[in-house]
Amino acid sequence: MTLKGLIFDFDGLILDTEVPGFQAWKEIFAIYELPFTYAHWSKAIGTGPTAYDPALDLCSMVNDSLDPAELRKKQLTRAHEILKNVAIQPGVLNFVQQAKLHKLRMAVASSSPCDWVMTHMQRLDLVKYFQYILTAEDVAHVKPEPDLFHLALQKLELTPSEAIVFEDSPNGITAGRAAGVYVIAVPNEITKTMNTSHANLEVNSFLELNINKLIEQFDSN
């Protein structure tokens, strides 16, 4: 096999949006003296809002006539506010820069909405490293279904054996494996408490990954 491309998740992998997203919902739930825990938030990580919607959950527990859409808007605004002070995950920038020097094709494949992903990718000046940025609007089914990774492979003109998927969540890993791609798990503060053992390889951060060694590993198989 020859490594020709890399496919990255976004939330929690490139940028740790998981903790700010969690914190924003926790603050909203606290207004109503209700707990919001990692166990709640983990149900929404790495997939779409149909899996778990904190707004609907809160509305079901509070007698006040709350508007789910307004709650989501409030949470999103607060999450963006927190994220202004959050840096790219350790090692990510150097890794993608090195991958670009090796002329590897790269894509982002995220279950999140396009506006969310692009806002932060542009703010962090990361768009220039990727040929494609694929999001929830581009597929019929988000993770744990493999649609996003199938589309990324198609766009990058790669076979599954020519790529590596980088994921932080169980849902993303499941999707990558279902697409037949080698998956490296790089969990964050929240997803390290979840089961990511079905990845082909687990590391603590991108600081542990060397693009030259990954290329050699693929070339030797």
pLDDT tens column, 171-183: 999 999 999 999 9
Alpha-carbon gap, residue 178 to 112, rounded angstroms: 19
Q: Are residues 120 and 185 in the same domain?
A: yes
pLDDT above 70 covers a percentage of the chain that reads 99
Q: Do 191 and 173 touch, CB atoms closer than 8 A?
A: no
Q: Are residues 162 and 113 in the same domain?
A: yes
Q: Are residues 107 and 193 in the same domain?
A: yes
Out of 83, 112, 134, a domain closes at 83
H or E segment to which residue 117 belongs: helix 114-123
User: Into how many domains does the chain fold?
Assistant: 2
Out of 61, 83, 105, a domain closes at 83
Q: Are residues 207 and 137 in the same domain?
A: yes
Q: Do 187 and 70 touch, CB atoms closer than 8 A?
A: no
Q: Are residues 95 and 174 in the same domain?
A: yes
Alpha-carbon gap, residue 77 to 161, rounded angstroms: 40
Q: Are residues 158 and 101 in the same domain?
A: yes
186, amino acid identity: V
Q: Are residues 98 and 69 in the same domain?
A: no
| Residue 215 structural domain | 5-16+88-220
Buried b (16+ CB within 10 A) or exposed e, 66-91: beeeebbebbeebbbebbeeeebbeb
At 220, the pLDDT band (50, 70, 90 cuts) reads confident
pLDDT reported for residue 63 = 72
